[in-house]
Structure 1
Amino acid sequence: MFKPSPVAAGCAVFLSVLGANVQAQDAVQALDANGNPISQVTVTGIRRGIEAAISIKKNSNSIVEAISAEDIGKLPDATVAESVSRLPGVTTQRDARTGRAASISVRGMSPDFNGTLLNGREQASASDSRGVRFDLYPAEMLGTITVYKSLDATLMGQGIASTIDQRTVLPLDFARRTVAASYRAQRTGAHNEDLGSASGYRTSLAYIDQFANRTVGVALGVVKFNDNGPEQINDDGWGGTTGTATYNGQAVTVPNGLRTDVIHNPNTNKGMMGILQYRPSKDFLTTIDLFHSKNTDSPKRTGFEGSTCGSTGGYDPVGVLSNANIVDGVAVSGTCSNFKGDIRNNTEVAVDTLNSWGINSRLRRGDWTFTGDVSGSRVRHDFTRYETTAGLVGNTPNADLDSISWTGFDGRSNLSALYKTALSYTDRSRMLLTDVDGWGGGLTGTQQSGYVAIGATIDEIKAARFSVRHDVELGPLTGIEFGLNRTNRTKSRDTDEGSLLIGTGPYGAASMPGNETVVTRQSGIPVASWNPLGSLGSIYHQLAKVDQVIQTDKNWHISEQVSTAYVMGSLEGELFGLPYRGNAGAQYIHTNQGSTGLIVDNGRCAGVAGQACPAYTIAGHHSYNDFLPSLNLNVELPADQVLRLGIGKTLSRPNMSDMRPGGGVGLDATNPAGPILAGGSGNPKLEPFRAKSFDLSYEKYFEANGAKGYVALAGFYKKLDTYILRAPQRVDYASTGFLVSGIPLPATGPNAGSTVGILTTPSNGSGGNIKGLELTASLPFAMLTRYLGGFGVEASYSSTLSSVTLPRSGITVISNGNINAIPLPGLSHTVTNMRVYYEKAGFRASIAARKRGDFVGDIHDYKDDASLTYIKGNTTVDGQLTYDFGDTTMLKGLSLTAAVNNWTNSPYIRYNGDPSSVVENVRFGRTYSLGASYKF
């Protein structure tokens, strides 16, 4: 475990990087590099946020996009992800459970390709990957968010797509004591067909003050969010493929099955922030900051599913089609006998706890500035999942089974039909908790009346940094900075899961507690409902599942030590008579990674619940070096125009779960070419994605009638030198350590007696390219005529293309289509954002729309495993209206706000390779909110 040395800690208390990157937050005179006040014109509301962001973009030496708070605790949206998604080339993936934007994709790349910082420090993540969940960072606690699209040698934890730096407020940037409080009541899930909506609230309090003649500053903030959880519907297309049945001697197309769920997802978030600053003189600044956030999701899912005419298990007989209306070979309506419907009542509880801290200082002596930082970031993800089934017991005679009828089937989508059953699925005397279909293996297997999984993922980062900057006058070189950074990161996952059993024997059953019922919307069939949380021990007992996937994929420990030395020179001068500024630098990075996992002996287990597979601990280790040069050059053209160039080399590190060493191998007797050894594993020698990056941006800034705006056109090209592919490859298992005792070798065929087989593992391969164009405009209409003062528009359009495709083999893609390759995850070809606003006489109004195209998204499936899936593009529309009472009334400092989110009830749709083949359709409804804020 990394522990800062006394010397490093002493330097950190004495030195800091943070003080060099503060952003002005209130009606205060910000300080220049020498601590002297800078004159400012106070701008409020929407224009304040826009103009602060424009200023960040214009004055940066890198190619950046920025979002700035309109006031204390007032980013444009409730979540960081939604605010950032307004920027060009940036889009979000919504959480299928809540509809909220949680992860960010930049320039067509998945969230794992972003580096995410808080106050300049790398942040831990809650999932197996490195992608950060931005709903852990309440927007009320942040002042600015800057997205670096070009490289900067002084930034640690950069990503190939971007580096996203979130900044909190700093108390010594404020001219006086400031207290801001807000409360907002909201209703979620409104106008979502006839589903029930839910109430909730969001409240925040910020206190900022200065003491001891402004040498000490304090900022404290708390945020609390609570949503009781509206009803949502999830219509699953049963894999998207239709089925066949025999009718009058001919094969006809029938619905393959149905699954429909009603979801209720309460959600809470509590956040706290504390910042202490000490500045006894203009040459010395120390900042200590603490950030805590805890997010709890508790989705409860009640649903109904079943195979209409086929079978899903040993207790589920094949149905017989009758009373069918056949049109062009399609059973538009009909009835199938021997139907066994499953009532599903599933409950999950996911708790993500983030703690981030830092101590940093800055000391200036003449032309020398010494900076340093020690910090930590830790996220713990606790997960509990109960899945239960109820229905007819496995030994129910066929004569007593149900039948299912349908009408309106179009022959293409299982979601097109309307269903009706003969039995009542609210009758608790017949619908028992049991293994309805024999999913545990039937009479020859093990009872599985449900499933439980309990696990935790812990990610922890500790870092120390020291740097020195010297101001010089040496030709175009105006300053040089060099420094060292050390980051230690550990991540582990531990999981315990298995089948839920009732009593003994294959037909164990118990009555379902309670008397609640739910109508499953797509089928229209009422079913019995209950919450199984905590039922382990009272109704069920657990039979641990200890097969290879559980032991190797969900139990591992990764450690990573990254040492970085960097140097960067600040540039300023003239080029062909035009002034320019920028920087040139490089990072030299040494990475040392280690991991432990398990090797599973598949030869001595059956891979089913309760039958243990012997496992052995294995360790892996690897180290490598990278040299990452970078250059940013900004040429100032006449008429307030800027031409920016950014080139360099960067990397994005692999998912930490892919770096595990564990795995297993078994005999694959189903291989078409004959029996062969086959297995899967992680790769402890995995190295990063690496890319060369080229950025070119043209920006034109305007100022007229007291309003500021700009237009920009940017192009980028990224050459991926290395990529990470999860694909099968031929290996000699005798040299892998996986071929433990008990695993038989092929006895027949071309591989008879051979230890050579197929191993599916992540590995580094050759890359491709990503390229795109981004067009942005921020235009207050007052620049055209003062009669349109108060009106304005922000708009952006981006188009991204990539030559990168991933082989379908070896990748978990939730799709049954005949697809051999998938596009780059996270890539939408087009992304469009627009926000129209009006601000005058205390009124502020805005309407914003965000649109993205279809893409392959990274989700966690029902087993809490990361999987890729096709997600249909969507457009979300939000609106907001605020009235500020101003400084001249008795209600000075008070503002009232009404807002609506997801105005058009944009759904979350997953499909099966073909957009017309829908496998999941979730609708969230609108969210209305009404609130007040007060600042004094």
Structure 2
Amino acid sequence: MLLFKPSLLSLALAAAGASVSAYAADEVDTTATADENIEVIQVTGIRRSLQESQSLKMSSSSIVEAISAEDIGKLPDVSIAESLARLPGVSAQRLDGRANVISIRGMGPDFTTATLNGREQASVNDNRGVEFDQYPSELLNRVVVYKTPDATVMAQAIGGTVDMQTISPLTHGEQTFAVGVRGEMNDLGALNAGSSDSGYRGSISYIDQFADDTIGIALGYARMMSPNQEERWQAWGYPEDSAGNSVLGGAKPFVRSSELERDGVLAVFEYAPNDFYQTKVDLYYSKFTDDQRLRGIEIPAAWGANGGVEATKIENGLVTEGVIRGAEVVVRNDVNKRDAESLSVGWNNKFQINDNWNVEADIGLSKAERTDIGMESYSGTGRGTGVGAVDDLGFKYNGDGSYNFTHNLDYSDPNVIKLGDPLGWGSPIDANTQDGFINKPEIEDELKSFRLAAEYVFDSSAIRSIKFGVNYTEREKTKLDKGYFLTLKGYDGSDPNYVMTVPEQYILGATSLDFFGMGNVLSYDSLAFYNDGNYIETDVADVDASRAVNSWDVSEDVTTAFVMATLDTDVYDIPLTGNFGIQAVQTDQSSNGTASTLENGQLVTNANFDSASYTEWLPSFNLGFEVAESQILRVSAARTLTRSRMDQMNANIGYNYEENPTTGVNWTGNAGNTQLRPWLARQYDISYENYFSDQGYFALAVFYKDLENYTYKQTSFIDFTDIVPPQNPTDNPIGSFEQWQNGQGGYVQGIEASFSMDFGMWASVLEGFGTVLSGSYNESEVKETADSEPTTLPGLSEKTFNATVYYENSGFEARVSSRYRSDFLGEVTAISLTRQNVNVKAETVVDAQIGYDFSESGIDALYGLSVLFQVNNLTNEPFTSYTGDDARHVRDYQNYGRNFMLGANYKF
């Protein structure tokens, strides 16, 4: 028995499609449809979204958070990741100015899993983490975040599971046509020559029912052409001078202009000919292109300046003002381009055999493909160091992590700045022959799934039902990592000082670097220059042993048997609902890789294969006690599993020989590890939830995750004699070897609070005003080995806060939202498009919007029309990362500007 009764409005929302997830649709009380004559007041916009999300939260047997669309094709934010980042205990990391990946309860993207309609998703990421900007928010109906799993959640993870859900056309129950369009502009302007600061978003949706409401269809299409601008200050590092003061080692400031183009398609077909059978096919496709132009300069300072750095001011151990003497500056015209496609197809069938037995069969396919181009084109005053003109550059620390410069040369003059290898960065053919570089990695990820489950419903019992079944998935992910040194075709070595004037047909208008004082730089279409065949390409894998082991494929076959009982009873007159169950997860994993080494100066590679198998048992329970009317105390415990990073599970082994007279260790090696076991944790949760109105609740939760293990890179010293032939009989055969290993564990613990209120419940004069607030505090201690110092978990912010204040009444809508997260360890792109963990500074991102729904105007001709104006990053919050413990040692300072959007939606 459950004494807690949601209001008619909440029940109507739940019955109108607010099933908690594809796993737990049966948790929603469908008795709301019993009386079809009950009149329910229609609520739209922000309040509808909040009420439906609250209904989802309180009707779930697990601890969850939820986001619901305000209307068809209209989630509360412009991206899914930004909406998720407003939930208690959830935070997002920005990439190129947009929210991209998320952390749940301090656990980074590696510890979270994303599903679509309950099916795990393949990822364009190098690892498993889903990049949520691949999914147009206009095509999703709701998103549910599982903080505690149950035995029927097939894609559980230690951090949590994010289930994105599309609409059910039969549950929607009416014909609907909706269209939306928005113009978009960035206030930094078009920073790069040839770029644009304006774009648009558009979407169209159609939902209908046929054949006496036994057939339903939902079709949707969304297109985005979004501009993105960035002023970036990037430092090489901060070595110490002779006096022990930190000084700028070098810098790479630039401006980036991007055009993000995305097309998304949704199709849902649903057929329910009777009360005993229902089938649904859903298809989701996204094509994503991110075209970036980056222009700037490389400035050698303490590392590389001919005359070194002359300090004129030092503050607290940092050189904050000075002159870089004899600087040889490299002008960069770079291109980053990503083409990605994601496809998800599912077929779900439900059979009700009789009043007691139900059977479900589900088949799914998820595929993702990604191709990147990361091109660097170099130019300067000469080929190699000590050849061309040099400059004395003054610099001054700005206090926010960036620097301002003064200069003497004109870096936009094509008669001064010419194509070549200004600093001699590489010599695959001969000295000073790296005139550019291009990376061309490719990712393919395919995940197939099949689930068969049965449920027995008891007529009268404390155990309401038992559900059991099996789920099988096959996943294969492949990375082909190609890179090439670029040398101008005109450089044959006969003239060691050869440089090339940029041909006129490739020159663009100058790009301004005034944001840090360097004036204009030469701008040219480097990708067109490359595509026209002006470079000689040298495959890095032919000359660099480490590059030869960057490509891999990893396969996983996972069979999960599960059983779960749901409860509905009383304990000492306290209503109790919930579930308890167990999963048996059997995994076979394997990898094809490469073993490479240098023998007598020649690169030698061989195929390498490795495999492993294991079984893990994952029990769980979720109990909800209605301790008072509309007040629930939830208690949960589970053993959870997150699979290791796929880029660490590869079977690659690389060996390298380089004479090192200082250490005497000449041999080095590194390897992936297909034998890696998953991260495992025992987690415990307690949550108190008080629902005091349809749109008002208070929740307080505490959690503790006891991590059984962690993955770290282990360094050991081994005898290389039996691995590779000795280069020199007198050499020391002992060398260092690095490999990913399962290590010691630790814990993550935290507390979360959330509060939602419609102020109109207190006074009529406040009708339409409301707020949503949440905050969390997390801490962790994780050790790689028993004797090691605690390590920082990627993605963990100690503090996060979210606040939204809104007004919605008589068609008018206004909202201001902010999200804060304290410092954290983030993952960013490093050299050769590799991934690197860096410290990210705390940030507060504020968004605002205002709109009007003409359906409230009384003008019949405008019924269904609404207009909206939005500003993202209202306070122009930068993204800043730093090295070491001194926050002044900024690695990256990224200024994105504000994005303005004006648009309209129409529904009938």
Q: TM-score, normalised by structure 2?
A: 0.91
Partner of 1:919: 891
2:651 alignment partner, one of 661, 665, 670: 661
Decide whether the 8 Å contact of 1:447 with 1:508 is kept in 2: no
* Counterpart Cα distance in 1 of 2:653 and 2:646: 15
Match of 1:437 in 2: 423
1:447 to 417, 426, 433: 433
1:866 to 823, 830, 835: 835
Q: What is the rounded CA distance, in whole Å, between the counterparts of 2:380 and 2:733 in structure 1?
A: 48
1:626 shift after superposition = 0.6
How far 1:241 moved relative to its partner?
A: 4.0
Letter in 1 for 2:825: V
Aligned to 2:345: 357
Q: Which residue of 2 aligns with 1:157?
A: 155
Q: Provide the rounded CA distance (Å) in 1 between the counterparts of 2:889 and 2:706.
A: 34
**Aligned-partner SS, 1:459:** strand
> Which whole-Å CA distance do the structure 2 matches of 1:595 and 1:784 have between them?
62
Query: In the aligned structure 1, how far is the partner of 2:443 from the partner of 2:347?
Result: 26
Match of 1:892 in 2: 863
Aligned to 2:8: none
Query: 1:73 maps to what in 2?
Result: 73
Q: 1:237 aligns with which of 225, 235, 238?
A: 235
Distance 2:323 2:815 in 1: 52
Structure 1 distance, partners of 2:246, 2:640, is: 53
The within-5 A match list for 1:456-471 is 456-471=442-457
CA distance in 1, matches of 2:401, 2:492: 37
Counterpart in 2 of 1:740? 724
Cα deviation, residue 680, structure 1: 0.7
> Following TM superposition, by how much is the alpha carbon of 1:655 offset from its aligned partner in structure 2, in angstroms?
1.1
Paired amino acid for 2:875: T
Letter in 2 for 1:867: Q
Q: CA shift at 1:740, angstroms?
A: 3.2
Contact kept? 2:403, 2:516, Cα under 8 Å:
no
**Equivalent of residue 524 in structure 1, options 518, 527, 552:** 518
2:19 and 2:634 mapped to 1: Cα distance? Answer: 21
Structure 1: distance between partners of 2:419 and 2:613 = 52
The corresponding residue for 1:645 is 635
Cα deviation per residue 1:709-743 (whole Å; 9 max; x = unaligned)?
100000000000121112313445567xxx234x5
Task: Give 2:706's aligned residue.
Answer: 719
Which letter does structure 1 place at the counterpart of 2:219?
A: L
Given the alignment, which residue of 546, 549, 556 partners 1:549?
Answer: 546
Distance apart, 1:532 and its partner CA: 1.3
Q: Which residue of 2 aligns with 1:681?
A: 671
1:929 and 2:907 equivalent?
no
3-state SS, counterpart of residue 158 of structure 2: coil
Partner of 2:143: 145
Structure 1 contact 377–462 (Cα < 8 Å) conserved: yes
| Shift in alpha-carbon separation, 1:254–1:557, aligned structure 2, 3 A | closer
5 Å-filtered alignment, 1:386-397, equals 386-394=375-383
Structure 1 residues 488 and 336: alpha-carbon distance in aligned structure 2, compared to 1, 3 A threshold? closer
Cα–Cα, structure 1 residues 403 and 821, in superposed 2: closer, same or farther, change >3 Å?
Answer: farther
- Partner deviation per Cα, 1:660-706 (whole Å, 9 max, x = no partner): 11111234644865325321110011110000010100000112xxx
Q: CA deviation at 1:120?
A: 0.5
What is the aligned counterpart of 2:878 among 894, 897, 907? 907
Deviation digits for residues 802-860 of structure 1, max 9, x if unmatched?
A: 012569x9xxxxxxxxx987411000000000001111111111110000000000122
For residue 889 of structure 2, give the secondary structure of its aligned residue in structure 1.
Answer: strand
**Would the aligned equivalents of 1:182 and 1:931 in 2 still touch at CA under 8 Å?**
yes
SS in 2 for 1:501: strand
Deviation of 1:335 (Å) = 4.9
Percent same amino acid at aligned positions? Answer: 33
Q: Distance in 1 between matches of 2:768 and 2:124?
A: 42
Are the structure 2 counterparts of residues 904 and 578 from structure 1 closer, same or farther at C-alpha, using a change threshold of 3 Å? Answer: same
Partner of 2:483: 497
C-alpha distance in 2, partners of 1:20/1:851?
29
Deviation, structure 1 residue 46: 0.8
The 8 Å contact of residues 188 and 197 in structure 1, kept in 2 or not, is answered as: no
Mapped contact 2:545–2:655 kept (Cα < 8 A): no
Give secondary structure in 1 for the equivalent of 2:180.
Answer: strand
Q: Aligned to 1:263, which of 231, 235, 256?
A: 256
1:403 is the counterpart of 2:373:
no
- Residue number in structure 1 paired with 2:4: none
Report the 3-state secondary structure (helix = DSSP H, G, I; strand = E; otherwise coil) of the residue aligned with 1:567.
strand
Residue in structure 1 matched with residue 752 of structure 2 by the alignment: 774
**Counterpart mapping for 1:14-163 below 5 A:** 21=19, 32=30, 40-95=40-95, 97=96, 99-163=97-161
Map 1:505-654 onto structure 2 (within 5 A): 505=493, 506-512=496-502, 513-520=506-513, 521-536=515-530, 537-546=532-541, 547-553=544-550, 555-605=551-601, 613-654=603-644
* Alpha-carbon shift at residue 110 of structure 1 (Å): 0.8
Q: Hey, what's the Cα distance between the residues in 2 that align with 1:443 and 1:600?
A: 21
Per-residue CA deviations over 1:54-103 (Å, capped at 9, x if unaligned) read 000001000101011111111110110001111100000000x2x00010
Cα distance change of structure 1 residues 253 and 626 upon mapping to structure 2, 3 Å threshold? closer
Write the deviation string for residues 402-424 of structure 1: whole angstroms up to 9, x where unpaired.
221315469x9984442213x22
Letter in 2 for 1:277: E
Query: 1: distance between equivalents of 2:320 and 2:808?
Result: 56
Question: Structure 2: which amino acid aligns with 1:276?
Answer: F
Shift of 1:582: 0.4
Compare 430-439 and 900-909 and name the one that shifted more: 430-439
**Which deviates more, 707-716 or 544-553?**
544-553
- 1:234–1:276 distance in 2 versus 1, CA, 3 Å: same
Cα gap change, 1:420 to 1:629, in 2 (>3 Å): same
Distance 2:385 2:781 in 1: 55
Can you give the 5+ residue segments of structure 1 that lack an aligned partner in the other structure? 1-17, 25-29, 245-249, 312-316, 606-611, 810-818
Letter of the 2:287 counterpart = K
Alignment of 1:302-321 (within 5 A): 302-308=295-301, 310-311=303-304, 318-319=306-307
The question of whether the paired residues in 1 share the 8 Å contact of 2:800 and 2:822 is answered with: yes
Residues paired across the two proteins, number: 869
Task: Give the Cα–Cα distance (whole angstroms) in 2 for the partners of residues 37 and 364 of structure 1.
Answer: 23
Aligned counterparts of 2:728 and 2:790: Cα–Cα separation in 1? 31
The question of whether the paired residues in 2 share the 8 Å contact of 1:321 and 1:337 is answered with: yes
State the SS of the aligned residue for 1:870: strand
Cα-Cα RMSD: 2.9
Q: Give the corresponding residue for 2:801.
A: 832
TM-score (norm: length of structure 1): 0.88
Offset at residue 871 of structure 1 (A): 0.8
Secondary structure, counterpart of 1:510 in structure 2: coil
C-alpha displacement at 1:355, in angstroms?
0.5
Report the Cα offset of residue 391 of structure 1.
0.7
Q: What amino acid sits opposite 1:79 in the alignment?
A: S
Separation of aligned partners in 1, 2:676 and 2:401: 42
Unpaired runs of 5+ in structure 2? 1-15, 23-27
Counterpart residue type for residue 932 of structure 1: A
